[in-house]
Amino acid sequence: MGELFDSYNSNYGEAVEGSIRFSGLRHDFFLIAKADLLRRLVVERKLRQGGSAVRALDVGCGIGSLHPYLDGAFDSLDGCDVSQDSILRASQHNPRVAYRTCSTQGLPYEDGTFDLAFASCVVHHVTPSSWLDFFLEIRRVVRPGGIACIIEHNPYNPMTRLAVFRCPFDQDAVLLKAARARSLFQETGFSDIRSEHFLLLPSATPLAKKVERLLSALPLGAQYACSAHV
């Protein structure tokens, strides 16, 4: 997998933009929506309770495209990826993020290091037979009482399927359903599992966001987030 994304690290943004051009939306629209969701997760899951600092980990961070939109969301942010070339590029553009290259077998961090670990559109690149191990490894690096969050494509959304079909590095993707994500969280010992769908409307107005939240339980949005307590 690392070699695949090494080959796209210099034109990753262009490849993504090409896959979603039919929607009339830019990639940053989706990045901002994910960043807003993660910021809200910190509040709703009370990760700052008692004024404690929040250390977060982005698993499979790629070239760090999401990280400029997370400025100030956490007290510190780490990122790891199997692609060394992507990590080098991410480090150049986001000097305040601590990056490491990781293997497909494990994350290069001690047990219970993070308050929040998230993986954004990563699991569909993992072989399904390794999904359980992936969730277990995320659980290992999150402290007791911390949160893990998986953001994935919604396979029930036809526009999402079209975008995946058009994306050159998603050709072998196996999309993870929200129900399966919840099941994997349960199987790996997480609790208080919640999921929501988002990116339903091509607008970021307060009204559009309100409508999306009201419909978030339905599998309509382009993506979903599933989060749980360790």
Q: pLDDT per residue over 151-163, tens digit each?
A: 999 999 999 998 8
- The pLDDT value recorded for residue 26 is 79
8-state DSSP, 57: E
- The pLDDT value recorded for residue 2 is 46
Overall CATH class of domain 2-229 = alpha beta
Task: Parse the chain into domains and list their residue ranges.
Answer: 2-229
**Beta strands across the sheet bearing 191-198:** 98-101, 76-81, 55-59, 114-120, 142-153, 223-229, 191-198
Banded model confidence at residue 101, pLDDT cuts 50, 70, 90: very high
Burial (CB < 10 A; 0-12, 13-18, 19+), residue 128, is: exposed
- The pLDDT value recorded for residue 134 is 96
Residue that wins the pLDDT comparison between 168 and 141: 141
Q: Rounded mean pLDDT of 48-53?
A: 83
Of all helices (H) and strands (E), which one includes residue 183?
Answer: helix 178-187
Residue 23 pLDDT > 70: no
8-state DSSP, 62: T
Name the token pair of 3.
Answer: 């070699």
Average pLDDT of the chain? 90
- The pLDDT value recorded for residue 163 is 87
Banded model confidence at residue 19, pLDDT cuts 50, 70, 90: low
- The pLDDT value recorded for residue 59 is 97
Name the token pair of 184.
Answer: 């994997």
Instruction: Give the Å distances, CA to CA, from 10 to 14, 86, 172.
Output: 9, 8, 21
Contact 197, 154 (CB under 8 A): yes
- The pLDDT value recorded for residue 15 is 59
- The pLDDT value recorded for residue 103 is 78
Banded model confidence at residue 49, pLDDT cuts 50, 70, 90: confident
Calpha distance 186→228 (Å, rounded): 9
Residue 12 pLDDT > 80: no
Other Cβ atoms less than 10 A from the Cβ of 182: the count is 17
Banded model confidence at residue 165, pLDDT cuts 50, 70, 90: confident
Query: 99 - beta bridge partners?
Result: 79
